[in-house]
């Protein structure tokens, strides 16, 4: 049995210092972090975006990723969706006593790889250890700062009638990958999480067009929640077409089996954009060149009708409302 | 996806809708009994494809919705007994009983776990030998054989801490009760798909014969449902009433004999109380005497508070097809999926939840 995290690892003692200097810091080291002072000191100027998010995914390792990759991607993506270029992030760990140090090392390697891929530095951090049962293996919080260049004004309230809605790829993959590993549901699915940093994708989109009005990554609540947010914030109607929305066969199959709708299942590496009609094809083309958006597609448009509502044309030619998700997503009874 | 896409084919759906419009010359009132059908009809906007003289009503075919308040109260009371572990399908969690819900009981400390099958419930019992593990058995003939099988396994493997709180119900007596009440004059019934997979079409013959109601068993995809409607309208236009199967890939006239035997081996029929309909003779399942040691209601002596119905809630009339969800004064206002007043707004197969989620554009 490998070495495990003890309460003493969080006590500020030599053990804590060893954990930081041997396990946590080396993979993510950079000159700002290396000062090991109480705060990171940064030289920045311009319009800044600032965001924070906590990660409590269960299980911490899932097909296609782990909590470390998720924690970096989530914050990088939140910054990117404001049109900001992510510059640096913080990393705070709350560790449950008993976690395998090998697992922690794997997660830190994943943090390192993902941060390198996104081109962000981790400039400050914190570690706490809590008694067994007071956390579930590992919780992570990341905050991030990004720089908004070129006067970009991207917001969920900026979608306008006529805008095309572009989705970067298949929906529901993260949610189904995680759900398949949950206790009690032993599903073996050919689905892996789509967890990915989208900053390079966004950067190529912003280079292709100055007329990207809204951007968001549809995480919890899925595409349905994000489109409803656009509709409400922008006081516009949204019309999407069921047939145009890419869904991996494995996700579709699992959703059929469990009585779930992929529109409501979480993503961690997808974005939806509202783009002025004239620029839509240009943006779509730029997106499809990025490895995380090969399947990007125009799935619908913003309209002046049914304001505040999302309506979907079904495969058989009727239409229906796509409402906000409600409560926990529970499997059906029969 | 094979075996699904064929039944969502837009061209085929359109042709069926056209055919229905062509042959339909008079008003027809159809009821889908099954909650799964209600959801499929709303989700796919099937009503928009039908001529206005064809009226579609939703029936009492959601097992969570028809569970009486007293039975939900009993489940909640059991969940608060120390030591006991309650296992349940997720849909039951938010259903309001007289005073609270299982969700609230869980927050108050009840050990309530969501399972995806009766096998998971049985496994929970194996994993917790020192504690009673109670499975909330709610469902129709689709669920009942799996519960019967779990009881037989518990017997064989000598799992003596496994119990069920049995609220399993039979569909045919409820269909007959609705027809007998005569509040809504039906011309045709879309018979449940998965229930019929188990029980076959035998029980429906009497409805066609005694009440002159056309019956067609349907699957759950848009093309399945449109085909069933087309077959029903054809019967109605011809002035005949018989039982047909549109869902031939899932249902045989004789049903699943092995599953029927399992149900008969483990359960006896018993009178059961249905929300909105009341007591229906021999419409529920009760463990046979030789298995009554698995009956949580017998094993645990619990006191129940007096039953309280929710003022203004019209789930009962909705379940009987007398009114539509939007006719209820609470619908979408005091009662919504976040704060459900009645069970029809909670269950994923409840009419109110389906109308709320997919409504408006479906009229």
Strand, helix or coil at B129?
coil
Cα nearest neighbour of B93 on chain A: A330
How many whole angstroms separate alpha carbon A296 and alpha carbon A198? 13
Which is more confidently placed, B353 or A143? A143
Give the model's confidence band at B94: pLDDT under 50 very low, under 70 low, under 90 confident, else very high: confident
> How confident is the model over B14-34, as pLDDT tens digits?
999 999 999 999 999 999 999
> How confident is the model over B296-328, as pLDDT tens digits?
999 998 889 899 988 899 999 999 999 999 999
Strand order through the sheet with B28-34? B54-61, B28-34, B188-191, B214-217, B243-245
A327 touches chain B (CB under 8 A): yes
Interface of A with B in 225-284 (CB under 8 A): 249, 252-253, 256, 258-259
pLDDT of B176 reads 94
- A·B CB contacts under 8 A: 103
Query: Are A320 and B10 in contact (CB < 8 Å)?
Result: no
Nearest to B91 among A256, A323, A332 (CB): A332
In percent, the amount of chain B with pLDDT more than 90 equals 83
> How confident is the model over A68-106, as pLDDT tens digits?
999 999 999 999 999 999 999 999 999 999 999 999 999
Give the model's confidence band at A203: pLDDT under 50 very low, under 70 low, under 90 confident, else very high: very high
| E strand spans, chain B | 28-34, 54-61, 85-88, 111-114, 133-139, 162-168, 188-191, 214-217, 243-245, 267-274, 278-287
Average pLDDT on A265-282 reads 97
Query: Are B348 and A333 in contact (CB < 8 Å)?
Result: yes
Nearest to A323 among B223, B357, B362 (CB): B357
Cα nearest neighbour of A331 on chain B: B90
pTM: 0.86
> How confident is the model over B230-283, as pLDDT tens digits?
999 999 999 999 999 999 999 999 999 999 999 999 999 999 999 989 999 999
Determine the distance in angstroms separating the CA of B95 from the nearest CA of chain A, rounded to an integer: 13
Which residues are CB-contacts of A226 (< 8 A; sequence separation ≥ 6)? Answer: A216, A217, A218, A272
Q: Rounded mean pLDDT of chain B?
A: 93
Query: Are A321 and B361 in contact (CB < 8 Å)?
Result: yes
CB A33 within 8 A of CB A120: no
The DSSP 8-state label assigned to residue B336 in this structure reads B
CB A115 within 8 A of CB A82: no
pLDDT of A334 reads 39
Answer left, alpha or beta for residue B200, where phi above 0 means left and psi between -120 and 50 means alpha: left
In percent, the amount of chain A with pLDDT more than 90 equals 83
> What is the predicted ipTM?
0.78
The DSSP string of A25-79 is HHHH--HHHHT--SS------SEEEEEEEEE--SSSEETTEEHHHHHHHHHHHHH
Q: Which residues of chain B have a CB within 8 Å of the CB of A319? A: 45, 48, 361
Cα nearest neighbour of B35 on chain A: A334
How many whole angstroms separate alpha carbon B236 and alpha carbon A45? 76
């Amino acid at each position: 049995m490998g070495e495990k995290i003890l309460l003493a690892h969080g006590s500020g003692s030599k053990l804590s210092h060893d954990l930081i200097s041997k396990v946590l810091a080396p993979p993510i080291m950079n000159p700002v972090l290396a000062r090991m002072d109480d705060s990171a000191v940064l030289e920045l100027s311009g319009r800044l975006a600032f965001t924070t998010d906590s990660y409590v995914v269960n299980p911490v390792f899932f097909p296609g990723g782990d909590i470390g990759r998720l924690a970096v991607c989530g914050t990088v993506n939140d910054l990117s969706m404001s049109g900001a270029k992510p510059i640096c992030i913080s990393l705070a760990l709350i560790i449950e006593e008993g976690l395998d140090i090998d697992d922690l090392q794997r997660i830190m390697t994943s943090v390192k790889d993902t941060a390198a891929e996104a081109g962000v530095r981790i400039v400050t951090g914190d570690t706490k250890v809590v008694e067994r049962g007071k956390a579930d293996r590992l919780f992570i919080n990341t905050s991030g700062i990004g720089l908004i260049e070129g006067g970009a004004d991207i917001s969920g309230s900026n979608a306008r009638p006529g805008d095309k809605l572009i989705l970067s790829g298949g929906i529901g993959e993260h949610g189904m990958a995680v759900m398949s590993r949950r206790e009690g549901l032993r599903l073996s699915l050919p689905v892996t999480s789509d967890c990915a940093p989208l900053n390079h994708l966004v950067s190529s989109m912003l280079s292709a067009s100055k007329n990207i009005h809204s951007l968001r990554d549809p995480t919890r609540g899925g595409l349905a929640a994000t489109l409803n947010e656009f509709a409400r914030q922008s006081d516009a109607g949204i019309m999407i077409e069921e047939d145009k929305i890419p869904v991996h066969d494995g996700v579709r199959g699992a959703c059929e089996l469990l009585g779930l709708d992929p529109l409501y299942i979480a993503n961690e590496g997808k974005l939806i954009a509202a783009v002025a009609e004239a620029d839509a094809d240009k943006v779509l083309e730029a997106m499809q060149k990025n490895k995380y958006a090969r399947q990007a597609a125009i799935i619908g448009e913003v309209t002046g009708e049914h304001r505040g509502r999302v309506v979907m044309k079904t495969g058989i030619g009727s239409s229906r409302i796509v409402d906000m998700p409600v409560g926990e997503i529970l499997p059906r009874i029969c | 996806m094979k075996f699904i896409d064929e039944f969502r084919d837009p061209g085929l759906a359109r042709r069926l809708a056209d055919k229905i419009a062509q042959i339909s010359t008079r008003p027809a009132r159809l009821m889908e009994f099954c909650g799964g059908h209600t959801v499929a009809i709303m989700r796919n906007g099937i009503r928009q494809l039908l001529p206005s003289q064809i009226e579609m009503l939703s029936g009492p075919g959601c097992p969570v919705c028809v569970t009486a308040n007293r039975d939900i109260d009993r489940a909640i009371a059991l969940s608060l007994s120390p030591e006991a572990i309650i296992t349940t399908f997720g849909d039951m969690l938010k259903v309001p009983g007289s005073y609270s819900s299982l969700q609230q009981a869980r927050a108050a400390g009840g050990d309530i776990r969501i399972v995806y099958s009766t096998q998971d419930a049985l496994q929970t019992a194996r994993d917790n030998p020192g504690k009673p593990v109670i499975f909330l058995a709610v469902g129709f003939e689709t669920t009942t054989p799996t519960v019967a099988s779990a009881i037989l396994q518990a017997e064989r493997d000598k799992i003596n801490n496994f119990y069920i709180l049995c609220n399993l119900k039979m569909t045919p007596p409820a269909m007959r009760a609705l027809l007998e009440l005569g509040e809504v004059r039906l011309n045709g019934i879309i018979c449940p798909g998965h229930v019929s997979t188990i029980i076959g079409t035998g029980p429906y013959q009497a409805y066609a014969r005694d009440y002159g109601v056309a019956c067609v068993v349907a699957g759950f995809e848009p093309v399945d449902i449109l085909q069933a409607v087309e077959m029903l309208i054809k019967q109605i236009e011809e002035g005949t009433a018989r039982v047909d199967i549109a869902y031939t890939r899932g249902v045989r006239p004789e049903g699943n004999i092995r599953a029927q035997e399992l149900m008969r081996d483990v359960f006896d029929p018993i009178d059961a109380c249905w929300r909105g309909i009341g007591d229906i003779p021999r419409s529920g399942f009760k463990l046979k005497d030789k298995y009554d040691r698995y009956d949580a209601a017998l094993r645990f002596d619990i006191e129940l508070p007096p039953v309280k119905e929710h003022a203004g809630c019209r789930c009962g009339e909705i379940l009987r097809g007398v009114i539509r969800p939007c006719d209820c004064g609470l619908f979408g206002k005091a009662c919504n999926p976040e704060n459900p007043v009645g069970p029809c707004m909670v269950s994923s197969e409840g009419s109110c939840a389906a109308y709320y989620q997919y409504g408006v554009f479906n009229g």
